[in-house]
Structure 1
Amino acid sequence: MSQSNNRLAYIYVFLGASLWGIIGIFVDNLSQQGFSALQIVTVRVISASIMLVAFVAAIDVKLLKIDWMDSMSFIGTGIFSTVFFSWAYFTAIEEVSLSVAVILLYTGPAFVVVLSRIFFGEPMTSRKIGALVLTLFGCVLVIKVFPINADRISLYGVLVGLGSGFGYALYSIFGKYALKKYHPLTVISYTFIFASIVMLPTSGFTISPQQLQSQTVWLNILGLGFFPTALAYFLYTMGLSMVESGRASIAATVEPLVATLIGVWLFNEILTIFQIIGMLFILSAVVLVQFKRIGGVRN
């Protein structure tokens, strides 16, 4: 891959992850309107799937044609990843607190690096390991995980939290397989179609008509389905199609950085010196993971 295409791939990943970082705006608004966590996941995946299918049908309906023998890839991205990691993440928040749940979720890049080594033969380089360490420490500082309230920590919560990181990682693995044969728009469309098939009967029918009567609710549902979902996944998947899974996943850890900055901008939160240091760690990891060779030596 040329250097310019390599940069473009990371720009896609960075923009997609940045859009993931604004999800809290819509989730907070819908929560205030009485939506439960799983109901929010449901409206997210259903609205995204409707928008994606409509868009793809309008520009090239052939992109919606798949070999149903390849359904396992989309079951992987839609159900094993999107649905499972959402359930595990929300459960972890209830069990161990938001800060610890976020850190456990961001074990995802480590899972991606290991799984990519196993399934795709991607090298486990010192540069990737260094970037993972920077990412972990950066996230710990940005999310202000310390001091940890030991009374809130449970073994079940930790295991479910690690499960959320594993589920988060599976999108990059199954997505990479699907991208060998299909366009990124096809991959994300069927990701959310399969996710919707699961979420509609389990949580969708719990949404009452009264919850959908407000214009504000619909604006937030559409915003949630488009910006941090359909568009974000499209940009990330475009980047994933151009670089190694492990590198894309590490670069995507700018998400908590963006989420923190959103909190500062919208909710007047105050950044601590440790959060600023954490942001520098994350940005350093994103820069570090982009370079493959120094002086002709693979890193």
Structure 2
Amino acid sequence: MKKSNLGYVLVLIAALMWGTIGIFVNGISALGVSSQSMAAFRLLTGAIMMAPVLAFMGCRSNACEGRVATPWALFKASPKELVPCALVGIVGLAVANTCYYECMGEVGMSTASVLLYTSPVFGVMLGRVLYREDVTPNKLVAIVFNIVGCVLAVTSGDLSGFHFSAWGVASGVIAGLCGALLAVFSRMATKTLHPLAVTFWGFVFGGCFMAVLSAPWSDMASAMSPQLILLFGGFGFIPTALAYIFYMQGLSMDLETSKVPVVASFETVATVLVGIGVYAESSGAIKVLGIVLVLMSILIMNTDLSKLRNSVIVKRIVESMTFKPNAWWTEKSQDMALFRERTGIALEPTVQESPWYFVR
């Protein structure tokens, strides 16, 4: 498997894990913890879980890239290297979450979800401006399929719950932009730091920023229980630490910035499937169509249409579809007449009587 293809698979696995967020959010919300407090502690819990992993990996010389193998090797980073990590945590995680929650409060969950899925549009724009990535027809088609698919999967085609608010729409679009910037800053950070280190420092910066904004301590103190600790343990491990390890590792494999948000949108499919399987939500035809469109958008985005168009299989399909039996029979008759003229041997065209003569 090509290195870049493996990278997209890792992003896809991360998106699958992000799809389980709803399970933990529902459980923690039921215990009385606010969304802002939840986001702060999610990132801080992820950082705590990442710390021993970084210490263990730092003892392995093949992970240190020229540094002395010690438990602290991967924690070390210069101020210059920490800047993109801070942007990952503050902009890509904290600001994105904050704006998303603001959007939900202003215009409702359905509208906020749709606005968040503007991220692939920003991904293509940023990829073009920053990395000179081509804006190809299949990318544009994939984005349209992706946005429409996400909207249908989330809303089941019922747009009656849509609301408008200038600040709500603005915060939703900012959340989508920050989601695309997460891929940009992560790509920058993993150029000089190990993906695990980028993940850890991103959680530290993002968690501290969210903690300053939300002051979650009173929320957590009032809701503290063994059940809350267990839920936050799972929340910090599966859709946070483990998911971002896969995500950062994938981005370190020179992926196209414009493609990453579309592949990461598989989170929507996973979320819908979790809702259907765990919470017995309805699964109508429109929702299924939305899931299919999202999957098609990922396939289209990662398919080289020029190579596909020139492939042997496509050529055979096009040839079969454009095959004109009468013209073919006329051509073959002329060939047999020419053969008879040059050799004197007459070939009887009895094959014309057969129903299979059109099959080649």
TM-score (norm 2): 0.78
Distance 1:151 1:181, change over 3 A: closer
Match 1:250 to one of 262, 267, 275: 262
Aligned-partner residue type, residue 20 of structure 2: I
What is residue 180 of structure 2 aligned with on the other side? 169
Name which one, 1 or 2, has greater alpha-carbon Rg.
Answer: 2
Q: Which one of the candidate residues 73, 77, 83 is aligned to 1:72?
A: 83
Aligned mate of 2:73, from 53, 56, 62? 62
Which secondary structure does the structure 2 equivalent of 1:207 belong to? helix
1:142 is matched with: 153
The reply to whether residue 30 of structure 1 matches residue 42 of structure 2 is no
Q: Deviations over 1:152-178 (max 9, x none)?
A: 321211111111101111110111111
| Alpha-carbon contact 1:239-1:248 (below 8 Å) kept | no
TM-score between the two structures when normalised by the length of structure 1: 0.93
Distance 1:164 1:286 in 2: 21
Counterpart-to-counterpart distance in 1, 2:108 and 2:115 = 11
Number of residue pairs the alignment of both structures matches: 295
1:287 aligns with 2:285: no
The 5 A counterparts of 1:116-131 are 116-131=127-142
**Alpha-carbon shift at residue 217 of structure 1 (Å):** 0.5
- Residue 186 of structure 1 and its aligned partner are, at CA, apart by 1.1
Give the match's secondary structure for 1:295.
helix
- Cα root mean square deviation, aligned: 1.8
Distance of aligned partners of 1:62 and 1:258 in 2 relative to their CA distance in 1, 3 Å threshold: same
Question: Can you give the 5+ residue segments of structure 2 that lack an aligned partner in the other structure?
Answer: 59-71, 311-360
Q: Aligned match of 2:232 in 207, 221, 224?
A: 221
Identical pairs, percent? 29
* SS of equivalent to 1:182: coil
Alignment of 1:1-299 (within 5 A): 3-60=1-58, 61-144=72-155, 146-149=157-160, 152-202=163-213, 203-212=215-224, 214-242=225-253, 243-292=255-304, 294-295=306-307
- Report the AA paired with residue 253 of structure 1: S
1:22 partner letter:
T
Q: Which runs of 5+ in 1 are unaligned?
A: none
Secondary structure of the 1:201 match is helix
- Inter-partner Cα distance in structure 1 for 2:306 and 2:160: 43
Residue-by-residue CA offset, 1:124-179 (whole Å, 9 max, x unaligned): 12111111111001011101164334773212111111111011111101111111
Aligned to 2:357: none
Deviation at 1:270, TM superposition (A): 1.4
